């Protein structure tokens, strides 16, 4: 497949270009399954061995960005009395059970408020049973399936806890979890699409051309064909943003090595690195991403992101140098 993709890219690279929609807030996985309720129901059935046919039965309750929201999740819906919390990850994160605990608390709060139930009344409040799943498609080695538990984070392992939360992590990279992919065609096509983008991006430094080629390749080979035709520019925008973040992370690591070798220019490089970070954070800020989301995407501590957000708000423009000056004062 690799040689075929390379030839396809070389053949297609000069054929067409189109405008990129830059105002993209949602990641591709969430975007795909939010736009297609049939696909979301198919995914649920594949995970649970059920055969529900009516997508209108899905009650989507995904947490959206808002002032009062602590954290925002990817996909959440209720079906048959079960609250399904789905998250997509491209990095290994042992703190996922803690995050899901926060998601769950926020979901339950919203459900209780919507039902106008009283926590202090004599009537038993009914809550949907939680089911937490993470779909992983990063580059690190990962088994087909693993379970992370909230109790893994507890300090005193000898004391039996009355609270537990389990998160199932599924490897959805192409070639993994074949039975699940067989049961959910849209997930299998998503895995193939991601695999194609990774291969083509590795072939060239021009990410935009490679990603455009990956999209065209998948359309012509009936991989997410209808979805990619309809949301082509949105998908390209999301992918460009994702690979920009990855490039930035690599540049930080490379600069770190160079700084260690070249004494005497450390301050200048540190300042440049901070300004590069500010540029990345500004893009997230104008898209209304929360501090926690930006920190996770850029793998930077939340306090640093919070300070940059504050500096951006104070300056009120996209002038990186001015934002940097305000940032160092804090």
Give, for all 330 residues of the chain, the pLDDT tens digit. Answer: 555 565 565 555 544 433 333 233 347 898 899 889 999 999 999 999 999 999 999 988 876 543 333 445 688 999 999 999 999 988 878 999 999 999 899 889 888 888 888 888 888 999 999 999 999 998 888 999 999 999 999 999 889 899 999 999 999 999 999 999 999 999 999 999 999 988 888 887 788 888 999 999 999 999 999 999 999 988 988 888 766 655 544 544 444 444 444 444 444 555 667 778 888 888 888 888 888 888 888 878 888 999 999 999 888 888 888 888 888 887
Instruction: Assess contact for 322 and 315: CB atoms under 8 A.
Output: yes
Distance separating alpha carbons of residues 37 and 56, to the nearest angstrom: 8
Q: Are residues 223 and 180 in the same domain?
A: yes
Q: Are residues 137 and 209 in the same domain?
A: yes
Q: Is the Cα dihedral 90, 93, 96, 97 positive or negative?
A: positive
Q: Are residues 37 and 104 in the same domain?
A: yes
User: Is residue 239 domain-resident?
Assistant: no
Q: Are residues 147 and 284 in the same domain?
A: no
User: Is residue 309 domain-resident?
Assistant: yes
Query: Taking the CA atoms of the chain, what radius of gyration do you get in angstroms?
Result: 22
Distance separating alpha carbons of residues 101 and 88, to the nearest angstrom: 16
* Structure token pair of residue 46: 């594949």
User: What is the domain extent for residue 168?
Assistant: 2-234
Cα pseudo-dihedral 98, 64, 247, 235, rounded to 10: 130
Q: Are residues 274 and 131 in the same domain?
A: no
Closest CA to 315 of 281, 290, 289: 281
User: Is residue 256 domain-resident?
Assistant: no
Instruction: Assess contact for 28 and 172: CB atoms under 8 A.
Output: no
Cβ atoms within 10 Å of 215's Cβ, excluding its own: 24
Q: Are residues 213 and 287 in the same domain?
A: no
Q: Are residues 201 and 284 in the same domain?
A: no
148 forms beta bridges with 167
CA 178 from centroid of its chain's CA atoms: 23
For residue 261, the model assigns a pLDDT of 47
For residue 263, the model assigns a pLDDT of 44
Q: Are residues 164 and 285 in the same domain?
A: no
Instruction: Assess contact for 167 and 147: CB atoms under 8 A.
Output: yes
Domain count within the chain: 2
For residue 64, the model assigns a pLDDT of 56
Q: Are residues 60 and 195 in the same domain?
A: yes
**DSSP line for 38-85:** HHHHHHHHHHHT-----GGG-EE-PPPP-TT-S---SEEEEETTEEEE
Distance separating alpha carbons of residues 24 and 123, to the nearest angstrom: 44
* Structure token pair of residue 59: 């009650």
Distance separating alpha carbons of residues 241 and 326, to the nearest angstrom: 26
Q: Are residues 154 and 280 in the same domain?
A: no
Distance separating alpha carbons of residues 304 and 227, to the nearest angstrom: 37
Q: Are residues 220 and 266 in the same domain?
A: no
For residue 266, the model assigns a pLDDT of 45
User: Is residue 241 domain-resident?
Assistant: no
For residue 269, the model assigns a pLDDT of 52
Secondary structure percentages of the chain, helix, strand, coil, to 5: 55, 10, 35
Can you give the pTM of this predicted structure?
0.68
């Amino acid at each position: 497949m690799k040689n075929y993709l390379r030839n396809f890219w070389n053949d297609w690279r000069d054929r067409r270009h189109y405008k990129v929609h830059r105002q993209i807030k949602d990641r591709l996985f969430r975007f795909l399954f939010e736009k297609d309720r049939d696909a979301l129901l198919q995914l649920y059935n594949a995970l649970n061995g059920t055969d529900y046919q009516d997508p209108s039965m899905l009650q989507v309750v995904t947490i959206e960005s808002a002032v009062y929201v602590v954290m925002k999740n990817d996909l959440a819906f209720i079906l048959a009395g079960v609250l399904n919390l789905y998250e997509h990850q491209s990095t290994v994160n042992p703190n996922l059970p803690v995050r899901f605990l926060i998601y769950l608390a926020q979901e339950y709060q919203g459900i209780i408020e919507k039902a106008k139930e009283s926590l202090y009344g004599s009537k038993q409040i009914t809550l949907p049973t939680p089911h937490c799943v993470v779909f992983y498609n990063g580059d690190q080695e990962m088994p087909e399936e693993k379970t992370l538990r909230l109790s893994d984070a507890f300090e005193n392992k000898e004391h039996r806890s009355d609270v537990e939360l389990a998160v199932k992590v599924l490897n959805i990279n192409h070639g993994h979890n074949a039975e699940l992919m067989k049961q959910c065609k849209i997930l299998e096509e998503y895995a193939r699409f991601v695999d194609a983008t990774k291969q083509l991006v590795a072939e060239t430094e021009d990410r935009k051309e490679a990603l455009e080629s990956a999209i065209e390749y998948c359309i012509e080979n009936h991989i997410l064909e209808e979805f990619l035709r309809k949301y082509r520019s949105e998908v390209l925008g999301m992918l460009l943003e994702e690979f920009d973040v990855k490039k930035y992370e690599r540049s930080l690591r490379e600069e770190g090595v160079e700084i260690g070798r070249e004494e005497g220019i450390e301050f200048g490089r540190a300042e440049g690195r901070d300004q590069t970070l500010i540029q990345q954070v500004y893009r997230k800020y104008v898209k209304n991403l929360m501090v926690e989301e930006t920190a996770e995407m850029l793998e930077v501590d939340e306090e640093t992101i919070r300070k940059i957000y504050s500096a951006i708000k104070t300056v009120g423009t996209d002038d990186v140098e001015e934002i940097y000056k305000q940032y160092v004062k804090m």
